[in-house]
Amino acid sequence: MKRTAFLLAGLALMMVLDSCRKDKAENIECDGSNPTYDGQIRAIINSNCASNSCHPGYSSYEGLEGILQNGRFEREVLIDQTMPRNGNLSAGELSKIKCWVENGFPED
């Protein structure tokens, strides 16, 4: 009986924590724009992510393709907001990135 109660409490806690994690991304609104990598996103990534000390491979669209397709980019930048490590993305930059993600990561 105690074991079942413990398991149910653990499950409930995981559900609460998961729902809190998604709240961050839900608070970011797509502003209705249609940003492209070449048009707006490259500058955001190059100034916040693609330095030699962080992710130099992300300085090109090809270097990003793997994390775009597996969901890691969206999770780390929009959902968990653990990237960039300095946390300096503005609301406008986050909005552009959300639109870009929602539109399927257009390159140009």
> pLDDT tens-digit profile of 58-89?
778 998 899 899 999 999 999 998 888 777 79
Residue with more model confidence, 88 or 97? 97
Q: Does residue 37 carry a pLDDT above 60?
A: yes
Q: Hey, what long-range contacts does 88-94 have (CB within 8 A, 24 or more apart)?
A: 88/48, 89/44, 89/48, 91/28, 92/31, 93/44, 93/48, 94/28
* Beta strand segments in 1-108, E: none
Annotated domain spans of the chain: 36-108
For residue 48 the two structure tokens come to: 């916040």
Report the pLDDT value the prediction gives residue 4, as an integer from 0 to 100: 75
- Residue closest to 84 by CA, chosen among 92, 96, 76: 76
What's the pLDDT score for residue 56?
65
Contact 15, 9 (CB under 8 A): no
pLDDT at 99 over 90: yes
**Residue 44 pLDDT:** 92
Q: What is the CA radius of gyration of the chain?
A: 17
- Structure token digits, residue 14: 């995981």
Question: CA 106, CA 87: separation in Å to the nearest integer?
Answer: 24
